[in-house]
């Protein structure tokens, strides 16, 4: 198995997905992978952001670099995170993904290993549909989708979402330790699978 390069790319307005992204990155690093964490550019208006103090505060405090297409090209394994918005990915992440046409056309994204994670405010508000919608991009890219699965007892017994790590944020509560552990496991699995595949080329 060779050392894999992992890019964790996310959108977050109020910080929940950001916390999950960094927990996933920790898991990937445990496998020895080289890991970068990137957030996609904010596209909402200043007025909309200023109307929500948590949104404003997150944007002002985040030190994560903005994602570029070069980050995707660089990585062997990619993890994408987004809040669930009306049962699907946030438009900010979708806007970034919609700039990957050139990479897709050149085949640069084919055979990369991809995984997804999300958070919503209710358990049946579309967590799985968001992950499945993100995964649609990977079919088009020709990538290899790595779900979290029920491989680890923590997921089977505690968090229970094999599609990808997810968090139900009641009244904005940040991800708890159980959720962050599921994220860590997802990052570890992504890096291990990416390492096996990149070593076999
Ligand atoms: C415009 C909008 C739409 C949302 N739609 C959903 C939804 O469909 N289902 C759900 O469970 N939560 C929904 N939420 C709640 C967010 O997904 C939730 O607060 C999430 O934890 C925020 O993540 P963040 O802190 O990384 O921005 C929505 C929030 C906003 C602002």
- Per-chain mean pLDDT for the chain: 96
The model carries a pTM of 0.97
**Atom number of ligand 1 nearest to Cα 55:** 27
Cα–Cα distance, 71 to 38 (Å, whole number): 8
For residue 200, is pLDDT > 50? no
Integer angstrom CA distances of residue 94 from 5, 67, 106, 132, 133: 23, 13, 20, 13, 10
Closest C-alpha to ligand 1, atom 2 = 85
Spell out which residues line ligand 1, taking CB within 6 angstroms: 12-17, 83-87, 119-122, 125-126, 169
Share of the chain above pLDDT 90, in %: 96
Question: Would you state the pLDDT for residue 49?
Answer: 98
Give the CATH number, domain containing residue 9.
3.40.50.360
Does the structure show a pLDDT above 80 at 20?
yes
Domain count, the chain: 1
Please report the pLDDT score of residue 192 as a whole number. 96
Quick check: 179 and 173 in contact, CB under 8 A?
no
Average pLDDT over residues 57-64: 98
Number of H helices, E strands in the chain: 9, 8
Q: Which domain holds residue 43?
A: 5-199
Instruction: Give the Cα separation of 54 and 63 in Å (integer).
Output: 16
Q: How far is the CA of 176 from the centre of ligand 1 (A)?
A: 17
Residue 198 has what pLDDT? 85
Query: What distance in Å separates the CA atoms of residue 149 and residue 162, rounded to the nearest whole number?
Result: 4
If one residue of 22, 57, 120, 131 were mutated to test the ligand 1 pocket, choosing by the most ligand atoms within 8 A of its CB, it would be 120
Say if CB 67 and CB 96 are below 8 A apart. Answer: yes
What is the secondary structure of 29-57 as a DSSP string?
Answer: HHTT-EEEEEEPPP-S-HHHHHT-HHHHH
Compute the half-sphere exposure of residue 81: CA atoms within 13 Å on the CB side of its CA: 33
- Average of per-residue pLDDT across 122-128: 97
- For residue 201, the model assigns a pLDDT of 45
Predicted pLDDT of residue 199:
66
- Name the pLDDT band for 174 (thresholds 50, 70, 90): very high
The DSSP secondary structure of 102-139, one letter per residue, reads: HHHHHTTTTT-EEEEEEEESSTTSSHHHHHHHHHHHHH
Q: Which of 85, 89, 161, 166 to mutate to test the pocket of ligand 1 (most atoms within 8 A of CB)?
A: 85
Cα 118 from Cα 130, distance rounded (Å): 7
């Amino acid at each position: 198995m060779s050392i894999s390069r992992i890019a964790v790319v996310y959108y977050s307005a109020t910080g929940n997905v950001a916390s999950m992204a960094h927990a996933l990155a920790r898991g990937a690093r445990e496998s020895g992978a080289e890991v970068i964490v990137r957030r996609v550019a904010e596209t909402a208006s200043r007025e909309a952001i200023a109307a929500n103090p948590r949104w404003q505060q997150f944007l002002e405090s985040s030190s994560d670099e903005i994602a570029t297409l070069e980050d995707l090209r660089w990585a062997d394994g990619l993890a994408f995170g987004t809040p669930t918005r009306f049962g699907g990915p946030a438009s900010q992440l979708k806007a970034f993904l919609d700039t990957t046409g050139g990479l897709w056309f050149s085949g640069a994204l084919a055979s990369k290993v991809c995984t997804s994670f999300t958070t919503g405010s209710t358990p049946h508000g579309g967590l799985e549909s968001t992950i499945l919608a993100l995964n649609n991009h990977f079919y088009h890219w020709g990538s290899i989708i790595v779900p979290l699965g029920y491989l680890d007892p923590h997921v089977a017994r505690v968090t229970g979402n094999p599609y990808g790590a997810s968090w139900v944020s009641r009244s904005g509560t940040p991800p708890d330790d159980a959720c962050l552990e599921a994220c860590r496991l997802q990052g570890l699995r992504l890096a291990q699978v990416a390492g096996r595949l990149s070593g076999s080329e």
